[in-house]
Amino acid sequence: MQCLFPKTLNPQFFLRSFNNTRSKAFTVRSMSSGSRMFQLKVDPLTGNSEWVVIEEDEASGDATKQLLANTSYLDMLNDTRRNKAYREAIDKTITKPCHVLDIGAGTGLLSMMAARAMDLGDSVESSGSKGMVTACESYLPMVKLMRKVLHANGMQRKIRIINKRSDELEVGVDMPSRADVLVSEILDSELLGEGLIPTLQHAHDQLLVDNPKTVPYRATVYGQVFDHGFIFKYSFADSHWVPFGYKAVIFPQLTFQLVESTDLWKLHDLYNTEKEVLDEICLVPEGMDSALCVKRQQFSMHCDALEEDIKLLSEPFKVFDFDFWRRPDSHRVTKLSVQATDTGAVHAVISWWLLQLDEKGTIFYSTAPKWISCPSSVEGFNSSISWSQNWCDHWKQCVWFIPKKGLSLLKDEEVSLLAVHTDTSISYEMKTLSQNLELEQSEVSAQKYQITLLPEKIALYSDVNWRCSMLKAIKNAMKQKTPSLCVVVDDSIFLAVALAHLAKGSHVLSLFPGLQEKGALYLQAVATANGYSKDHVEVQKMSELLTSQSSQEKQIDLLVGEPFYYGNNSVLPWQNLRFWKDRSLLDSILSEGAVIMPCKGLLKACAMSLPDLWQSHQCLQHVEGFDHSVVNSTLGACGGLPPGQENPTLPFSVWQCGESKKMSDIVTIMEFNFLKTISPCSGKAKVEFISHGKCHGFVLWIDWVMDAEESIVLSTGPEQRYWKQGVKLMKEPVAVGSHRSATTDCHSADIETSFDPSTGDLIVEYAFL
């Protein structure tokens, strides 16, 4: 892991950098320097956080293990195609003793490959820098883990570990000389997001010899069209399409493709999708297109999960090339002309990359979606590429959304694409210069009240069924009791606007714990479009509300939430029980008969077959010949753990987890009663299997019951694409079958859970019957 953050340890800069590395989700964040680590602990039920200092001997505690279990290290080490490609490239590149630098060394896998390639594994320790491997790793818990891995493989004397960022290394202090070879894997789905460019720049300037060898060597791309059943690639040397198997020169670059997709459109264009919703709520009024929007950035996604909805509108095309063996530029701009292969509306640009790991161009790794493929029937070329056709989570494709409804194209029409890359990102524009200027002016004017949301939240806010259910629940609640004071306890923009619109005789307060002042400015900006006065709704902090209402003796008649807490992007479902905690804090100022919405939460579960996800999180044994079993417990692996040790429940969007199949009906394990104050609770349910096959784990989520009659229930289960579920993978897959089956497979299982409100933890246990 290569974490870039200032020596002053600025937390905000650090969090941005660290989240661009191996993370999937964090309730605990950390950074390290020297022999201590600064760890940000966040209470999921209060939102309160504090930085604490953890010394080196404390860096293997439970909180750190939970942090590492939420990273993609385990998934990456289980990616056999990646590991094989790196091993083959290192063996071809390092053929004699030399000084090797490994930046972002992680568990030390690449360092050990380099040492073995120099035949150092069992030899006497070399003198000088020749035959030396310097492993640079900035994250203290990974340094401790690497030491264990090196010791388990007898490599501790052959590899020197430096617990620093690479831009803190000094030749003559940390390294005896400049390195001859650089090995590294500091790539994210976008290629640049982990700080690849500044890391390479500093390495070439300060740490490497002139004309060094590098693994990887460069990022490369291939083009593809389908014509009469044959697959072709573009030869930039010959300037025409040639079949796979022909010799062709491929220049380094990223790959992109224009696509039309209703699903992708709904993930970013609330302004236009909201027009199709026939209710009276207007979250994005006319002339305020960017009031609620996604960030102008690429989003990593498993695009194979969207394949049925995607219509390809162009061939893959080259945008940028990146060489690792020479110093890269920080900023480049390129203008491309892309021809449409079909008629449609461009909703997004999908990108991926292909890595050339060796100098001669014989070893490759691709992050392409499945529709970009090299068939096994084609001899020669297929054997040199590790095609990422099997599911993995550490590298995905990237999606760049085209503003508004997209750009309409006719077949064979050409569109101009402007691409820009900085040190850490790539962006696109498909507009004329005058349109660009108008967009910039619009964005500047909207900055005061503009709120950026995740794509899933944008899509949810345009979902007709969800909006209809929410509005019906509000109207039903107002029939029970005419509210004088309504409080939105979370960051729900929709509920705040809807209450202000519907509850004309009530005063509406929004706590907006995450949105805060920006949320207040937004509510003022959309007031006229939603038919309420600006003084009808206000934003207060929880502490202010408790103080003011206690003194005024004015009590809350209606307390609502989705629940949704801004910034809690990748939390487990039960961490949204912060709503229950907040409702409990406000208990003293609730009126008699106050309506709580939702009034109940139902913890649901379903047994599922998840072979791709399980394989990516299975216990490690030998990785390309190196024992990694010592990391299993720390990284939260499933399968092969010591007795009494369980892998953690982790948040995933199940619909993006590759192959999946329901193995049981959905069961309710326990209820969270929001009409009462928060308290410990537990539950148990019997799961009956309905399908024959392998069960890999249980998927858990919460259904929110919005009314006392339970007529309106909003599910966050795996069939919904707006939320993450909690996934409890089993130690080993279990053969299961229905009672009607004549097999000896397991027919049922007991699943038991308990919730601790002091920590927000949910313990999940199961037993097969």
Task: Compute how many other C-beta atoms are within 10 angstroms of the C-beta atom of residue 685.
Answer: 18
Contact 32, 163 (CB under 8 A): yes
Q: How many CB atoms lie within 10 A of CB 377?
A: 8
The region, left, alpha or beta by phi > 0 then psi within -120 to 50, assigned to residue 172 is left
Cα(136)–Cα(671) distance, integer angstroms: 48
The catalytic residue among 88, 137, 194, 562 is 194
Q: Is 185 a catalytic residue?
A: yes
Query: Which tokens is 670 given?
Result: 């326990």
Query: What is the Cα 187 distance to its own chain's centre?
Result: 14
* DSSP letter, residue 204: I
How far is Cα 147 from Cα 144, in angstroms, rounded to an integer?
5
CB of 340 within 8 A of CB of 409?
A: yes
Query: 3-state SS string over 427-463?
Result: EEECCCHHHHHHHHHHHHHHCCCCEECCHHHHHHCCC
Strand 385-387 versus strand 364-366 pairing type: parallel
Sheet arrangement for strand 240-243: 226-227, 230-235, 240-243
With tokens 């104050």, the residue in question is 677
**Which residue in the block uniquely carries the two structure tokens 């493929």?**
373
Read out DSSP for 39-98? Answer: EEEE-TTT--EEEEEEEGGGTTSHHHHHHHHTBSHHHHHT-HHHHHHHHHHHHHH--S--
- The residue whose two tokens read 């060094």 is 212
The 10 Å Cβ neighbour count of residue 761 is: 18
Nearest to 670 by CA among 596, 595, 582, 756: 756
Indicate left, alpha or beta for 228 from its phi (over 0: left) and psi (-120 to 50: alpha). Answer: left
Residues ≥6 apart with Cβ < 8 Å to 332:
320, 420, 421
Rounded to whole angstroms, the Cα distance separating 193 from 4 reads 11
Token duo for residue 297: 């950035």
185, 190, 315, 562: which one is catalytic?
A: 185
| Of 376, 387, 360, nearest in space to 89 by CA | 360
Cα–Cα distance measured from residue 131 to residue 123, given in angstroms and rounded to the nearest whole number: 10
Q: What gap in Å lies between CA 578 and CA 42, rounded to an integer? A: 12
Which residues are known catalytic residues?
185, 194
